Amino acid sequence: MKAVRINQWGQPAQIEDIDRPSPASDEVLVRVHAASINPIDVIVAAGYLQAMLTVPMTAGTDFAGEVITVGADVSHVNPGDSVYGCIALRGGTFAEYVVVKVAEVAAKPSSLDSIQAASVPLSALTAWQGLNRSLKIKAGERLLIHGVAGNVGSFAAQFARLSGVEVIGTAAAKDEAFVRSLGLNRWIDHTKTKFEEEAGEVDAVFASIGGEVIPRSFAVMKPAGRLVTTGQMAGADEAQQRGLQATGMACEASIDDLAAIARLIDAGEVKVHVTDTVPFDQFQRGFELHQDHSRGRRKVVLTL
């Protein structure tokens, strides 16, 4: 089968023929129909996680496709099912077939085609788990989302609004039309205005970016406020001194969370937004598009 292979860290990946994998008893073999590009795929290919991974490896995290065979211990999906999911850091979805663990795959939202479905798993699971597991967000609370135009941030905004949360988001003006479509209570152009001056007091912060916005956010958090970041944590000591809860997070595979997200999408409560579709054999162009935000947000999906 054809797969996008990383042979050396930091060197361009390339399409190669490799053996089709076989599922173990707790695994599922999926024929991949579409696979979206996430920031983690760029981070992995650049070699930043080489202490945790070994080359050669196949790139790719998200997928949508059809179940071909299931291991003896798998009962929640069957051959022929249309599925979606994302796999942990080991990569593998930028390929004609991928073997995934039982928790990494669930029925695809039936209202979405494979291209749309492949754009959902990692971004939406991260948003879902950040809100529900890390922040434990509650109706009536005020939430600040940094990076609300991004793929994680825009799912977080939609989930939070459905939970009855008041949402303030930061984004750049190039994404204004998109962020206005998310039903936010308020958005702040972070390129023109300091969010500290506009956001007011918030119960919680969901930062889909890391670094300097983390300690800056402490100024707008209520006493005992909570913050989670999907990026690099900063200011942990200061948060503790101020009595705030501030943590990083790592998205986990979850059949239940994938199913809950699919239900919201099929109910028309949550929208997905693919900007670019690129044939698998032009994956380098897909990576270039993924990183070019000059005209606004991106979600790039490779088709197989």
Site string for ligand NAP, 245-264 (x = CB under 6 A): ----xxx-------------
Q: How far is the CB of 2 from ligand NAP (least distance, A)?
A: 25
Q: Which of 36, 38, 119, 254 binds ligand NAP (CB under 6 A)?
A: 38
**Residue 300, phi then psi, degrees to nearest 5:** -105, 130
Q: Which stretch binds ligand NAP (CB under 6 A): 73-81, 83-91, 166-174, 217-225?
A: 166-174
Judged by phi (left if over 0) then psi (alpha if -120 to 50, else beta), residue 240 lies in alpha
Q: How many CB atoms lie within 10 A of CB 55?
A: 14
**Residue 254, phi then psi, degrees to nearest 5:** -160, 115
Query: How far is 35 from 47, CA to CA, in rounded Å?
Result: 21
Task: Say whether residue 149 binds ligand NAP (CB under 6 A).
Answer: yes
Task: Say whether residue 209 binds ligand NAP (CB under 6 A).
Answer: yes
**Which residue's CB is nearer to ligand NAP, number 29 or number 270?**
270
Task: Say whether residue 58 binds ligand NAP (CB under 6 A).
Answer: no
Task: Say whether residue 187 binds ligand NAP (CB under 6 A).
Answer: no
Task: Say whether residue 170 binds ligand NAP (CB under 6 A).
Answer: yes
Q: Which stretch binds ligand NAP (CB under 6 A): 18-26, 89-97, 149-157, 268-276?
A: 149-157
Burial class (CB in 10 A: 0-12, 13-18, 19+), 20: middle
On whether the CB atoms of residues 230 and 126 are closer than 8 A, the answer is: yes
Task: Say whether residue 213 binds ligand NAP (CB under 6 A).
Answer: yes
Helix, coil or strand: residue 284: helix
Task: Say whether residue 152 binds ligand NAP (CB under 6 A).
Answer: yes
**Which residue's CB is nearer to ligand NAP, number 70 or number 122?**
122
CA atoms within 13 A of residue 83's CA, in its CB half-sphere = 32
Query: How far is 10 from 154, CA to CA, in rounded Å?
Result: 30
Binding site for ligand NAP (CB under 6 A): 38-40, 122-123, 126, 146-147, 149-153, 170-172, 190, 208-209, 213, 230-231, 249-251, 293, 297
